[in-house]
């Protein structure tokens, strides 16, 4: 019997999980939690989902380090690195800005924060402060944008790795790889072999972990649906719909146009090739955890060389977040509308700029954008507590924006590979 392709397996797991999660949600009452031998089904799902997530996270540090070091050292001379780095950053900046503008237009046109010509402040009970959310955001300790730059140079690289501060790890790895290009052959050669071997070992482990992906995804999605159900899906539906529409326009219209006209490739083939990674992003809501799968898909299915992918993708997982940037902007405008704030050009400009900058520093973990939105709200003078209302839909929107983040990275990597003269396997 032919084995079903991984993306189909994951898709089936998602559909099944929605069904099972919904049943569990309906069966759960204040006095009764469905379970087996005293253990609730939700906690079993939680355990399995966490196991899968942990397995993916386990390889992030060695994977990021080895892939960037090999990538940078392999590019060779400073000029080549500059050219590839320059193109990568340019593409990241342009696609993120475009994503933000799509979000800006969508929320301005649909105006979900205005109901019957009035700001939806009371309808959304925005005055009620949601202290725990505010505490959560503050607990993450992001003071201001300057922090992003400080984090690029962590005083202790081991601590940065242990705390998942990937930006610092990335900068360190780029420096390390670049330093290798300045060493004598005698010193550089063993280092290169070591890191290249580490990289390939990590990719092998990724393949093994992905064999369990349908089960992991089933557990992650089942848990979300079992806990939130669909009832919440009413109050903020227009805002969620506006975000989803904007994400869809960016992902399925604008990025494919870039792929077609700048990259000269068939966008549909790239999308199909990247689907396991996008579905993993959807279920984990974490770009970082998805990174191993993203690299695997872009090399095996899309045909981008390791030279390009090992530099562009690990960088993109933290630096390039199209979906997140779009969401930050949309959420800030929505809340500003709901509060009846005058959305002057200056205010909108501030929102766009901060969304662009913070999306660079946002970690690739679930709900990370809430921190960035808190920064934006502070800058335009809205109470941080307003974030509470976003929590209603945060998980599902997080799943969608993380998929778009991964898709944005993949599109950039494919286009850059083409600009570097690579054939790839997805020619138009
Ligand atoms: N969960 C997103 C990611 O990992 C970040 C966010 O938007 O919260 O890409």
403 three-class SS: helix
Give, using CA atoms, the residue closest to atom 1 of ligand 1.
Answer: 366
Is residue 88 in contact with ligand 1, taking CB distance under 6 Å?
no
Say whether pLDDT at 10 is over 50: yes
More confident residue, 371 or 1: 371
Lowest mean pLDDT among 166-170, 287-291, 306-310, 322-326: 166-170
Lowest mean pLDDT among 134-148, 233-247, 395-409: 134-148
Q: Report how far apart, in Å, the C-alpha atoms of 292 and of each of 120, 208, 212, 309, 314 are.
A: 42, 11, 14, 11, 9
pTM of this structure: 0.78
Question: Domain ranges in the chain?
Answer: 6-419
Q: Closest ligand 1 atom to the C-alpha of 365?
A: 4
Is residue 317 in contact with ligand 1, taking CB distance under 6 Å?
no
The pLDDT score that the predictor gives to residue 141 is: 40
Please state, in angstroms and rounded to a whole number, the distance separating the CA atoms of residues 195 and 69: 7
Label residue 204 by pLDDT band (50, 70, 90).
confident
Q: Report how far apart, in Å, the C-alpha atoms of 46 and of each of 42, 187, 211, 218 are.
A: 6, 47, 19, 10
Say whether pLDDT at 132 is over 60: no
pLDDT, average across residues 334-346: 84
Q: Domain spanning 6-419: which superfamily? A: Sodium:dicarboxylate symporter (1.10.3860.10)
Say whether pLDDT at 388 is over 90: no
pLDDT, average across residues 165-184: 85
Please state, in angstroms and rounded to a whole number, the distance separating the CA atoms of residues 412 and 428: 16
- Dihedral over alpha carbons 390, 392, 394, 400 (to 10 degrees): -120
The pLDDT score that the predictor gives to residue 50 is: 87
The pLDDT score that the predictor gives to residue 145 is: 59
1 three-class SS: coil
Mean pLDDT of the chain: 83
164 three-class SS: coil
Residues 46-76 pLDDT 10s: 899 889 878 877 887 888 788 788 877 877 6
Q: Closest ligand 1 atom to the C-alpha of 362?
A: 5
Mutate to test the pocket of ligand 1, among 398, 399, 406 (most ligand atoms within 8 A of CB): 398
Is residue 362 in contact with ligand 1, taking CB distance under 6 Å?
yes
Q: 227 with 43: CB under 8 angstroms?
A: no
Query: Residue 402: left (phi > 0), alpha (psi -120 to 50), or beta?
Result: alpha
C-alpha closest to that of 366 among 402, 404, 317: 402
Mutate to test the pocket of ligand 1, among 100, 363, 376, 401 (most ligand atoms within 8 A of CB): 401
The pLDDT score that the predictor gives to residue 79 is: 66
pLDDT, average across residues 319-328: 93
Residues 220-255 pLDDT 10s: 878 877 876 654 444 477 898 999 999 999 999 999
Is residue 398 in contact with ligand 1, taking CB distance under 6 Å?
yes
Instruction: State the distance from the centre of ligand 1 to the C-alpha of 317, rounded, in angstroms.
Output: 9
Mutate to test the pocket of ligand 1, among 243, 359, 367 (most ligand atoms within 8 A of CB): 367
Radius of gyration over every alpha carbon of the chain, rounded to an integer in angstroms: 22
Select the highest-mean-pLDDT range: 95-104, 279-288, 374-383. 95-104
The pLDDT score that the predictor gives to residue 249 is: 97
Is residue 364 in contact with ligand 1, taking CB distance under 6 Å?
yes
Is residue 325 in contact with ligand 1, taking CB distance under 6 Å?
no
Label residue 156 by pLDDT band (50, 70, 90).
very high
Q: Which residue has the tokens 């420096």?
A: 175
Mutate to test the pocket of ligand 1, among 92, 294, 324 (most ligand atoms within 8 A of CB): 324
């Amino acid at each position: 019997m032919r084995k079903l392709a991984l993306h189909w397996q994951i898709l089936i797991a998602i559909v099944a999980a929605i069904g099972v999660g919904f049943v569990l949600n309906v069966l759960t009452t204040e006095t009764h939690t469905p379970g087996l031998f005293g253990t609730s089904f939700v906690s079993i799902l939680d355990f399995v989902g966490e196991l899968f997530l942990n397995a993916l996270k386990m390889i992030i540090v060695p994977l990021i380090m080895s892939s960037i070091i090999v990538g940078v050292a392999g590019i060779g001379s400073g000029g080549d690195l500059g050219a590839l780095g320059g193109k990568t950053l340019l593409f990241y900046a342009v696609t993120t800005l475009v994503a933000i503008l799509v979000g800006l237009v969508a929320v301005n046109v649909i105006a979900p924060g205005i109901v019957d010509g009035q700001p939806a402040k009371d309808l959304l009970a925005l005055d009620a402060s949601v202290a725990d959310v505010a505490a959560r955001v503050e607990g993450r300790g992001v003071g201001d944008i300057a922090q992003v730059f400080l984090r690029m140079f962590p005083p202790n690289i081991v601590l940065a790795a242990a705390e998942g501060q990937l930006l610092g790890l990335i900068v360190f790895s780029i420096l390390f790889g670049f330093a290798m290009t300045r060493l004598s052959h005698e010193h550089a050669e063993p280092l290169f072999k070591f890191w290249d071997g580490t990289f390939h070992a990590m990719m092998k482990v990724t393949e093994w972990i992905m064999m369990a992906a349908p089960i992991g995804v089933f557990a992650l999605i089942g848990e979300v649906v079992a806990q939130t159900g669909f009832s919440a899906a009413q109050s903020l539906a227009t805002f969620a719909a506006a975000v989803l529409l904007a994400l869809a326009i960016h992902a399925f219209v604008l990025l494919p146009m870039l792929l077609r006209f700048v990259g000269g490739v068939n966008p549909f083939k790239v999308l199909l090739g990247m689907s396991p990674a996008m579905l993993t992003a959807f279920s984990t809501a974490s770009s970082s955890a998805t990174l191993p799968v993203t690299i695997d898909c872009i090399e095996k299915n899309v045909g981008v060389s390791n030279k390009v992918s090992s530099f562009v993708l690990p960088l993109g997982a933290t630096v390039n977040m199209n979906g997140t940037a779009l969401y930050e902007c949309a959420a800030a405008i929505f809340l500003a509308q709901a509060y009846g704030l005058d959305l002057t050009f200056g205010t909108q400009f501030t929102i766009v700029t901060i969304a662009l900058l913070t999306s660079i520093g946002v970690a690739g973990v679930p709900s990370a954008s809430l921190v960035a939105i808190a920064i934006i709200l502070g800058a335009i003078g809205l109470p941080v507590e307003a974030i509470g209302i976003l929590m209603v839909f945060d998980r599902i929107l997080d799943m969608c924006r993380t998929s778009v983040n991964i898709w944005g990275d993949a599109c950039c990597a494919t286009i850059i590979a083409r600009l570097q003269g690579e054939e790839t396997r997805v020619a138009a």
